[in-house]
Amino acid sequence: MIWDSLPETVPTHWNYKGEIDDWGHKSTTIFITFLLSGLTYLLFTIIPMIDPKKKIKLMGNKYDNLKFLMTLFMSALAIFLLYSIKEQSLTNPAFLIAAIGLLYILLGNYIKTIKANYFIGIRTPWTLEHESVWKSTHLLAGKLWFIGGLAIVITALLTDRDFYTIFFIVITIIISLIPVIYSFIAYRKLKIED
């Protein structure tokens, strides 16, 4: 829809301040659209086919809901990026950070309920080895991702760009690392008790 109105050279990357720092041919927009939404959909379609123990199929509607959620989110992100490319401005990066925070909230609610598998969740050697470690790790991760996502949304909407950018990075690292460390500790504790 916007192809004819785009100049031959369009912005392809923005820095954390929302300033354009890379340019490319307008054909890049096709790649961005496919990469975000099309590739996400394709990946979620292929995963059940290559699942060695067919555990994804046991998730039933939960997997389909996650596929829909991720494809919808990536499609919305693609539309936001296409709009930003057309306007040659990242409009308001706070909305993008807040949207990612919202995704963390949704994933936090979702991750608590998934069963052990090789593709989705906190897949460490320790969670995959023991069912109770998987469950306790994902309960913790769900709470962390929900709280972290909520904090990111609030911070993105109420603080300045420099603060919410650093806050987003720090929270993302924390909510990613803590469940991994916890899974190791929980597994070691189980092994000591055995």
| Beta-carbon contacts of residue 16 (< 8 Å; ≥ 6 apart) | 93, 161, 165
Domain that holds residue 74: 1-91
Predicted local confidence at residue 194, as pLDDT:
62
To the nearest whole percent, how much of the chain has pLDDT over 90?
Answer: 45
| Chain segment 109-134, per-residue pLDDT in tens | 999 988 888 888 999 999 999 999 99
Same domain (yes/no): 29, 72? yes
Mean pLDDT throughout 105-112?
A: 92
Ranges 70-84, 131-145, 166-180: which has the least confidence? 70-84
Written as one string, the DSSP assignment of 169-182 is HHHHHHHHHHHHHH
Same domain (yes/no): 185, 161? yes
Look up residue 116 and give its DSSP letter.
P
| Beta-carbon contacts of residue 21 (< 8 Å; ≥ 6 apart) | 13, 14, 15
| Chain segment 130-159, per-residue pLDDT in tens | 999 999 999 999 999 999 999 999 999 999
Final residue of a domain: which of 44, 63, 91? 91
| Chain segment 22-46, per-residue pLDDT in tens | 777 777 777 777 788 889 999 999 9
Q: 3-state class of 157 per DSSP?
A: helix
Predicted local confidence at residue 90, as pLDDT:
63
- Residues 152 and 101: beta-carbon distance below 8 Å: yes
pLDDT higher than 90, residue 81: no
- Residues 175 and 122: beta-carbon distance below 8 Å: no
CA distance 30 to 34: 6
For residue 182, give the nearest of 113, 119, 132 by alpha carbon. Answer: 132
To the nearest whole percent, how much of the chain has pLDDT over 70?
Answer: 94
For residue 173, give the nearest of 138, 148, 146, 139 by alpha carbon. Answer: 148
- Residues 94 and 80: beta-carbon distance below 8 Å: no
Mean pLDDT throughout 3-19?
A: 72
Same domain (yes/no): 71, 129? no
* Residue 20 banded pLDDT, cuts 50, 70, 90: confident
Same domain (yes/no): 79, 162? no
Number of domains in the chain: 2
Same domain (yes/no): 65, 149? no
CA distance 149 to 168: 9
Same domain (yes/no): 116, 145? yes
* Residue 18 banded pLDDT, cuts 50, 70, 90: low
Mean pLDDT throughout 72-85?
A: 82
Pair of tokens at residue 51:
């699942």
Final residue of a domain: which of 91, 121, 144? 91
- Provide the β-strand partners of residue 20: 14
